[in-house]
Chains A and B, each alone.
Chain A
Amino acid sequence: MLSPYEKILFALLVAVSLYLATVTFRRMIGTIMRGQGHLAWDGLPGRLWTGVKTLAGQNNMIRNRPLVSLAHTGIAWGFILYMAVNVVDVLEGLVTGFVFLEEGTAGQVYRLLVDLMTLAALVGMAALLIRRFIVKSADLAVTPNVKLHPRAAGGIRRDSLIVGFFILGHVGFRLVGASFDIAIHGPDPWQPVAALAAGLWSGLEPSWLTFGLHASWWIAIGLVLVFLPWFPFSKHAHLFMGPFNLMTAPERTSPGALDALDFEDETIEQFGAGRITDLDRTHITDAFACIMCNRCQDACPAYATGKELSPAALEVNKRYHLRDHMKSLATGGEDTEPMLGYAMSESALWACTACGACTEACPVGNEPMFDILAMRRNQVLMESAFPNELKGAFTGIERNGNPWQMAGDRMEWTESLDFKVPTVAEHPDYDVLFWVGCAGAFDPSARDTARAIATVLHRAGVDFAVLGNDESCTGDLARRAGNEYLFSIAAEGNIETLNAAGADQAGQKKIVTGCPHCLHTLGNEYGALGGRYEVMHHTQLIGELAKAGRLAMPGRDGTRTTYHDPCYLGRHGGEYEAPRQALAATGPSLVEMARSRNRSFCCGAGGAQVWKEEEGGREAVSDHRFREARETGADTLAVGCPFCARMMNDANKRAGEPMRVRDIAEIVAESIQDEQERTHHDDR
């Protein structure tokens, strides 16, 4: 198709484009490589499959914002197809007489597919441009109290506009070219959209048609060549950096399991992330993968309640900072700007509840929560600058083995039970080790839950024991608050205790916890430090016992109950069914909140929040969540975590106690009690 002169020009353009792209892509890769650790490449076939799968399936992004996701899918699938289409078009342009697949069925299907996907991409792109620039969707805005790079707001708009016109131009002129082709070579029923457009050219001179065909080809392909070197500067790089990010993600035992730090190596002088180069490579990649869609922001409990934190703004700020320093960073230059200045405010840093909703919501596999926790590590371990209230909790873990700084007896909660709870020392042949947790041992309301769990285990005939005063805080709060050193000390001590108690005998002994935070730490985080245990949440064990018929329950409770998924049981633990099954066995009708299961909204306690004053915002996270629970019309709010219980109880009190807040264990224990009384009554 192309004339010899055009071919020479094309070759020159390709050379320039590739040269410039090499320069800019090397900068981007060089910048990523300034991060710590390694991008994961082990098990490459599986990782490639992840890339293909997420690209084709759009990483299930349709689960949130369905209409926008649909428009995006049109563009994305169109673009995936266009990767092949561009190669075909270039070949058809360069090789005289070459027509891909020619006139056979395959060619017809190919042309129809391209024609329809072109339309899908154009409609999708137009819809997204209208959403951003005409409707001005609030989803794309960030509240003014959140720190945002001074150029970000305007920059994102400009970038979106450039990308929008690039896509419209690239795909649109491919369509225009196809329409000229039809005008020249006659109608093609397999390209209905292009055929429709060809009607525009009726009556044009053949020479104009040929000019139109060539011009369209040049614009469609030329735009790609122009845009290619620009990718590393545009958020549009997400189209390959997104799948790349998902493909190179590290294996984690849970979506929120943190990596341990090496405190033995005396040469290490930086702990946590003070500067962006202190982040892991995968988290620098996050900034390049981010398309700035704010889906993480939608899911963030801190943002929803008016705090200064937006996980989206964090990624945006990282990206703009990297953009400004990419050349220097890629060539080994030092970045001296602390992240806690441009990336987020101090209040934002301490507003995170470590609930993991942001990582769950992100379609390109970004993990803003990890950056926040890495920055907290820097604040605690390097700067010793953190909310003062946390000091009490840290000192409590250090000296008393519990964050409440309680010096009391960890067995006191058992005193009012009508059966004896044995300690491991008294009963080393136990099957199940009940890890009571600091809350269960000391918090008055959590003690009720601990007693309920013990009662259920006792009634079901489970052979269990507790550690009593040998138990000590797992260190979860220290870890989420950035005090990794304290966490490592706590973990070491507990692993020693647990192994001495034989809890590491896989297949013979298991641990059941009354708290999802203990569950997550013992089950998903101690492994890396040498403590491998089979750990269950109490609702999982209760679910099993109910299923096995070991719990006699009337199963005809008339209440309406809604269940609040704790972040560290649900998102971080992957358990959504067992608590519902345990609850269902007691017989209430279950109603779901608008946000439940993996989209559950934090109670506000996580990420060490419960040990400090909540950061300033519009409302308390707990009040927000409690309102969501009330909106179901249920009379009981079932929880599975002592901290959720406490937050929801407090919110309930503030709202005038319109609901009954109970741990599932308590509901089950009450139900067993009722059944016993009933059968006892019947016997008489």
Chain B
Amino acid sequence: MNIIALVKQTPDTAQLSASMDGLKLSAEGGPRIVNPWDEYTLETAIQAREEHGGKVTALCLGPPEAADALKTALAMGVDEAVLVSDPAMADSDSLTSARILVAAIRKVGAFDLIVGGRAAIDGNTAATAVQVAALLGVPLVSYVAELRNLDPSDRTLSAVRLLEKARETVTSRLPALITVVKEINEPRYPSLIGIRKAARANIPIWGCKDLSLDAAAVGAGASGVEWRTELPPVREAHIEMIDGGPEDAARTLVDRLMEEKVI
């Protein structure tokens, strides 16, 4: 079974700082991590490979530093990793990114399953993987919390989608693209042997030329969306201390939470 895992490198949003250049990944911009949702992407892809055999290829679109995210993917256990990177691709919006990724997926070759995270924590559009599925013309099963039945011989899958107020079980034919939520599994911690293997691995970089893309058709110029972000975000919070005994305090707290429509 050929599986493609879509991985993004993002800033560590737990450590946002004013020194970051927006959400762009610059070397000085603070720590960068594998998009937390994509840890579940990788775990899902690796588990599927462990169960059904075949190969997992991790694809990442980003600046050269994003190769670190692919090292993590390799350390976790993907078989191959490709970095899609070209200065011309900088500041692509989600649709343009999807077009680039589709070109890369076609270059990887035949696939049975593409896995992505529900969103990336930086842009948080949750659109790129959807657009990839649309451009490829394969079924999309988003917000997957449980992959019940992945059957490469029957070429079907059955999955439970986690929706706001329901769990929905759907079946789809393969090839398909799924996006996963964190309820699906517990991502593994890379073993040292994996880390060492990853350190030795050669990660190919595919640019516009390799993907036969016109440099003018990618990047900021070809994108309809522009990002203007100020970091860290200004937080408007105030603290309210609730007095009284535990029972009274709890009652007041519940009232206040309901007032604020938190519960």
Known contacts A399-B33, A485-B195; A384/B190 CB under 8 A: yes
Question: For chain B, which range describes its interface: under 10, 10 to 19, 20 to 34, or 35 or more residues?
Answer: 10 to 19
Write the nearest CB–CB distance from B37 to chain A, whole angstroms. 15
* C-alpha gap A528/B96 in the complex (Å): 52
Interface string of A155-169 (1 = CB under 8 A from B): 000000000000000
Please determine whether A399 and B192 come into contact, CB atoms closer than 8 angstroms: no
* Distance, CA A384 to CA B190, complexed state (A): 6
CB distance from B224 to the nearest CB of A (A): 34
Q: Does chain B have a CB within 8 A of A391?
A: yes
Asked, given contacts A382-B191, A382-B192, whether A400 binds B186 with beta carbons under 8 Å apart, the answer is no
- A400 to B15 alpha-carbon distance, docked (Å): 8
Please, how many angstroms separate the alpha-carbon atoms of A399 and B11 in the complex?
11
Q: Which chain B residues border A271 with CB–CB below 8 Å? A: 192-193
Contacts of B15 in A (CB 8 A): 399-400, 407
B196 at the A/B interface (Cβ < 8 Å)? yes
Within the assembled complex, what's the spacing in Å between the Cα atoms of A380 and B188? Answer: 11
Most chain B C-beta atoms within 10 Å of own C-beta, residue among A386, A400, A405, A407: A407
In-complex Cβ contact of B189 among A263, A266, A394, A399 (8 A):
A394
Nearest B residue to A485, CB-CB: B192
Whole-angstrom CA separation of A383 from B12 in the bound complex: 27
Binary contact readout A383-394 vs B (1 if CB under 8 angstroms, 0 otherwise): 110101001001
CB distance from B109 to the nearest CB of A (A): 29
Interface residue A381 (Cβ < 8 Å from any Cβ of B): yes
A383 to B191, CA, bound (A): 6
- In whole Å, how far is B14's beta carbon from the nearest beta carbon of chain A? 5
- Name B75's closest neighbour in chain A (CB-CB): A384
B194 at the interface (CB under 8 A from A): yes
Decide if B221 is an interface residue (CB 8 Å cutoff): no
Question: Which residues of chain A in 242-284 are interfacial with respect to chain B, using CB atoms and an 8 Å cutoff?
Answer: 263, 266, 269, 271
B63 within 8 Å of A (CB atoms): no
Least CB distance, A150 to chain B, in whole angstroms: 32
Which one of A381, A382, A394 has the highest number of Cβ atoms from chain B below 10 Å of its Cβ? Answer: A381
B139 within 8 A of A: no
A391 CA / B33 CA spacing, docked (Å): 15
Residue of A nearest to B15 (CB): A407
The answer on a CB contact under 8 Å between A407 and B192 is no
Q: Are A399 and B12 in contact (CB under 8 A)?
A: yes
Contact assessment for A384 and B189 in the assembled complex, using a CB-CB cutoff below 8 Å: yes
List, in ascending order, chain B residues with CB within 8 A of A485's CB: 192, 195
B193 A381 Cβ-Cβ under 8 A: yes
Closest to B194 in A: A384
Q: Is B152 an interface residue (CB 8 A)?
A: no
Are A384 and B14 CB-contacts (below 8 A) given A266-B196, A399-B33, A485-B195?
Answer: no
Residue of B nearest to A384 (CB): B191
For the complex, is B219 an interface residue (Cβ under 8 Å from A)? no
Q: Which residues of A are found within 8 Å of B189, using beta-carbon distances?
A: 380, 384, 386, 391, 394
Residues of B within 8 A of A266 (CB): 196
Interface residues of A in 393-420 (CB under 8 A from B): 394, 399-400, 405, 407
Q: What does the 1/0 interface line of A594-631 toward B look like (CB < 8 Å)? A: 00000000000000000000000000000000000000
B31 beta carbon closer than 8 Å to chain A: yes
B38 smallest CB distance to A (angstroms) = 15
Inter-chain contact B191/A407, CB cutoff 8 Å: no
B14 and A399: CB pair below 8 A? yes
Measured CB to CB, the closest approach of chain A to B230, in angstroms, equals 18
| Assembled-state Cα–Cα distance A382/B191 (Å) | 5
Write 13 A-B pairs (CB below 8 A) sorted by A numbering. A266-B196, A380-B189, A381-B191, A382-B192, A382-B193, A384-B188, A384-B190, A394-B189, A399-B12, A399-B15, A399-B33, A400-B14, A407-B15
A-B pairs, 3 with minimum CB distance: A381-B192, A384-B191, A407-B14
